[in-house]
Amino acid sequence: MYIFRLLQNNLISGQTGFSREGLLNVVAFTVALLSALILHEIAHGLVALWNGDRTAKMYGRLSLNPVRHFDWIGLIMMILVGFGWAKPVPINPNNFKHRKLGCITVSVAGVVTNLLLAFLFAMGVVLFGNLLLTLQTATSMYYFVYFLFALCVLAMQLNVNFALFNILPLYPLDGYRLLSCFVDERNKFMTFLRKYSFYILLGFIVLDYIPIVSNYSPLNLYIGWLGNKIDIGFQLFWGLIFRG
């Protein structure tokens, strides 16, 4: 379980075992999760509003209240495996000033927001990581900076994972919505996706828990490998900026 692993990891030293750092990891994960989910959904609603559709605003989906955005199955997935989804924002494309442009921009709004957040949190990873190396362990200042570091690490990872997961062309994720902007939703392929996306996703998740196979599962190769490369790239960028 993802939360259990967080409880046992020290993100700065790599040591394992239950500790204060592990407890701080869980608190930081909760904050990071809330921010990633809420801002992702608000981005959809705001871009829809800018395109002329007030549906999300009418349903209260521009709120910072997390209860308005949570899909409980998606939330459980976040806790178990570190990625998931929120309740889709209600959108009425008929209200868009320019329908196709509105559909495209609303579809990518959440993913772009998550990647931008990950990029910004990567700056905190570099700054607070360097600061931690200068502090004496087991002091109040150390734990405070460690929390900020853990928050930035987990927020960076969650936002990247969330972006990569949501851009998958599976119903009702953003990738499906984006794909539907360019093809007829009534064709056989799109009908297949609407009908079987949940089972496809479930199969991916099951593969992720089978020993040996899990190292080569589609989700691990896609989100794990590619997400890690994006995380490293963001950190390298900020490392070069602050080194200069």
- φ and ψ at residue 57, rounded to 5 degrees: -65, -40
- φ and ψ at residue 143, rounded to 5 degrees: -65, -35
- Give 3's pLDDT tier (boundaries 50, 70, 90): low
- Check whether 216 has a pLDDT greater than 90: no
pTM for the model: 0.90
Instruction: Give which of 2, 20, 1 is closest to 10, Cα–Cα.
Output: 20
List, for residues 86-131, the tens digit of each pLDDT value: 788 899 999 999 999 999 999 999 999 999 999 999 999 999 999 9
Please compute the mean of the pLDDT values over residues 136-156 and round it to a whole number: 94
List, for residues 183-206, the tens digit of each pLDDT value: 998 999 999 999 999 899 888 878
Is 72 strand, coil or helix?
helix
- Check whether 225 has a pLDDT greater than 70: yes
Domain coordinates of the chain in residue numbers? 18-238
Whether 114 contacts 160, CB under 8 Å: yes
List, for residues 16-49, the tens digit of each pLDDT value: 677 788 899 889 998 998 899 899 999 999 999 9
d(CA 24, CA 86): 24
Torsion of Cα atoms, 227 then 228 then 231 then 237, to 10°: -120
Sequence-distant (≥ 6) Cβ neighbours of residue 205 within 8 angstroms:
77, 81, 219
Beta partners for residue 64, in sequence order: none
Which pLDDT belongs to residue 81? Answer: 64
Which pLDDT belongs to residue 226? Answer: 94
- What is the SS3 string spanning 60-88? CCCCCCHHHCECHHHHHHHHHHCCCCECC
User: Does 21 qualify as catalytic in the annotation?
Assistant: no
Catalytic residue of the set 41, 53, 174, 231: 41
Average pLDDT value for the chain: 89
